[in-house]
Amino acid sequence: MGEQPIFSTRAHVFQIDPNTKKNWVPTSKHAVTVSYFYDSTRNVYRIISLDGSKAIINSTITPNMTFTKTSQKFGQWADSRANTVYGLGFSSEHHLSKFAEKFQEFKEAARLAKEKSQEKMELTSTPSQESAGGDLQSPLTPESINGTDDERTPDVTQNSEPRAEPTQNALPFSHSTAISKHWEAELAALKGNNAKLTAALLESTANVKQWKQQLAAYQEEAERLHKRVTELECVSSQANAVHTHKTELNQTIQELEETLKVKEEEIERLKQEIDNARELQEQRDSLTQKLQEVEIRNKDLEGQLSDLEQRLEKSQNEQEAFRNNLKTLLEILDGKIFELTELRDNLAKLLECS
């Protein structure tokens, strides 16, 4: 088979809603393989994607197509043959850029291939068109074959003029008559050939119209057969695509199994974290209860402290009053001591005097 995949990637496939022409409708439940195929026999590039055994993309790349990036991970292109717009969602911007580069590369290759094909067709059709066109552009008429009256009878005129004005080089009358008959016979033969050529031209013109009609019918049949061949090639190319898809599915299954193992380990870890969280919750509840008890005890201590402060303030007031009383007693005592001292001195003086 002449068609082989030349580039593949994975993406989510969408198509534009045929009713609204605005909303995207997913055609694949998960990411599928999207491949560029090259048909070396017909020199055609196609984009093909399969979801199981169903072809969800079968788009032939033409020079008029344009791949547009609408976001960092999404791109789209319009396919006039399929009368739809395809959209691809990629896992990263790198994959989108790579797909867009390949699209532009194969689009340019398709353009060059189309130009070469047109040049070959023009080279093939040019000789027949030139011959038919030459006949159509230069229709045969008696004047074009035999010439005009002035072009046809120059010699006859020249031969008749000497009869009117004889000179030394004039021909005899009998010889001039023979020449006239010769030209008349040749003129009659040319008129007959002209009539035959005119009839042949009319017949060829009718044949050209018939050939154009047949060519149009052949082109329609060729287009229909081309579409049929494309469908058959799509069906036949599904074998390799299905094998590739199977391999990718096996890889996906392995990846999913590994992911499942990782998820199970993560679930076990989360269970342990939940148990630890429960223990921490219990500890938090216990600490909250203890904190409440401590707050109650703190309130009691604050009440006791307030009572003690009041007692202390009262005691300080009593001490201050005691100090004031003591100070007063000390002052009285100092006065008494001073008086006793004076009394002692007076007594001593009396004793000395006596």
* Residue 191 pLDDT level (bands cut at 50, 70, 90): confident
Q: Which residue has the higher pLDDT, 317 or 220?
A: 317
Q: What is the mean pLDDT of residues 344-352?
A: 91
Do 102 and 36 form a contact (C-beta atoms < 8 A)? yes
Q: Which of 17-26, 182-191, 243-252 has the highest mean pLDDT?
A: 17-26
Q: Is the pLDDT of residue 199 over 50?
A: yes
- Domain extent listing, the chain: 5-118
pLDDT of 226: 67
pLDDT of 239: 57
Q: Is the pLDDT of residue 241 over 70?
A: no
| Both tokens assigned to 125 | 């059709």
Where b means 16+ CB within 10 Å and e means fewer, 240-276 reads: ebeeebeeeeeeeeeeeeeeeeeeeeeeeeeeeeeee
Q: Is the pLDDT of residue 188 over 70?
A: yes
Give me the residues paired with residue 37 across strands: 5, 46
Cα atoms in the Cβ-side hemisphere of radius 13 Å centred on 116: 9
Amino acid letter, 314? K
* Range with the poorest average pLDDT among 113-127, 159-173, 177-191, 255-269: 159-173
* Residue 25 pLDDT level (bands cut at 50, 70, 90): very high
pLDDT tens sequence across 254-278: 888 888 888 888 888 899 898 888 9
Do 146 and 194 form a contact (C-beta atoms < 8 A)? yes
CA 246 to chain CA centroid, Å, is 26
* Range with the poorest average pLDDT among 142-156, 244-258, 334-348: 142-156
Q: What is the mean pLDDT of residues 288-303?
A: 91
CA dist., res. 89 & res. 283, Å (int): 49
User: In sequence order, what are the residues at sequence separation of 6 or more whose Cβ sits closer than 8 angstroms to the Cβ of residue 144?
Assistant: 138
pLDDT of 120: 74
CATH class of this structure's domain 5-118? mainly beta
Where b means 16+ CB within 10 Å and e means fewer, 184-193 reads: eeeeeeeeee
* Residue 242 pLDDT level (bands cut at 50, 70, 90): low
Q: How many other CB atoms sit within 10 Å of the CB of residue 197?
A: 17
pLDDT of 128: 47
DSSP state of 138: S
Q: What is the mean pLDDT of residues 3-15?
A: 92
Q: Is the pLDDT of residue 39 over 70?
A: yes
Q: Is the pLDDT of residue 222 over 80?
A: no
* Residue 229 pLDDT level (bands cut at 50, 70, 90): low
Q: Is the pLDDT of residue 192 over 50?
A: yes
Do 12 and 30 form a contact (C-beta atoms < 8 A)? yes
pLDDT of 13: 95
* Whole-number average pLDDT of the chain: 79
pLDDT of 161: 36
Q: Which residue has the higher pLDDT, 205 or 133?
A: 205
* Residue 91 pLDDT level (bands cut at 50, 70, 90): very high
pLDDT of 304: 93
| Both tokens assigned to 351 | 């004793």
Q: Report CA-CA distances (Å) from 162 to 153, 158, 172.
A: 15, 7, 10
Angle at CA 316, nearest 5°, toward 315 and 320? 115
Q: Is the pLDDT of residue 154 over 50?
A: no
Q: Is the pLDDT of residue 69 over 90?
A: yes
pLDDT tens sequence across 118-137: 777 777 665 544 444 444 34
* Residue 235 pLDDT level (bands cut at 50, 70, 90): low
Do 48 and 35 form a contact (C-beta atoms < 8 A)? yes
Q: Is the pLDDT of residue 156 over 50?
A: no
